Amino acid sequence: MSGRPSNYTEADKQEAFGMYLKGYSYADIAREMNDRYGYSIHYRTLQDWSLKQGWSEQRKEVEFDLIDQVKRSAVTDMKGRMEEVEMVRQQFLEKIRSGEIELRGHEFAKLTEMLNNMGNLQKEKDELVENINECINKALADTDLPRAKKQHFLRKYIAYLRGDI
């Protein structure tokens, strides 16, 4: 198929929306789809689709959901680690009770203190992450950066938080 189709398909619109969510500009989307399919789609057509289908609002929801998901994932990971530590501690206690291991009182107290400190550190970390996210959102809202640059920054930020980079 060459040139402008009489009617773009819903699949075309969904593909364009997917690229939009990834931070592509309308011009980049048009260029990519034109190269890929031999279309002569104009970026203004994409802007029309965006307005009619509420792409901008949907992208904001996706961004919010993604940031929220990353936060929850980090907390879940840490809780999992804490549960592992607690499990090891319980196994250790069982070995002490059964007489497999001899432990002096001060050693047990030190282990308990270390576990409590880890819990406090997690709470502090969660508060710090929340504060950093609030500051980043405020700073981005106050900048003159184009939306695409803000999106690029947020994608990189999330990738670093996840440990992908």
pLDDT at 30: 95
Q: Where are the domains of the chain?
A: 10-53, 56-162
Total number of residues shown for the chain? 165
pTM, rounded to two decimals: 0.44
Over residues 20-29, the pLDDT tens digits come to 888 889 999 9
How many alpha carbons lie under 13 Å from residue 41 in its C-beta half-sphere?
29
Taking residues 62-85, what's their average pLDDT?
74
Average pLDDT value for the chain: 81
pLDDT at 1: 46
Tokens of 128: 């710090």
Q: Of residues 73 and 53, which shows the higher confidence score?
A: 53
Taking residues 27-35, what's their average pLDDT?
94
> d(Cα 53, Cα 47) in Å, to the nearest integer?
10
Distance from chain centroid for Cα 64: 9
Which of 136, 140, 131, 91 has the alpha carbon at shortest distance from 111?
91
Q: Is the pLDDT score of 43 beyond 90?
A: yes
Q: Is the pLDDT score of 52 beyond 50?
A: yes
Q: SS3 helix, strand, coil % of the chain, rounded to 5? A: 80, 0, 20
Which of 8, 9, 16 has the alpha carbon at shortest distance from 33?
16
Q: Is the pLDDT score of 92 beyond 80?
A: no
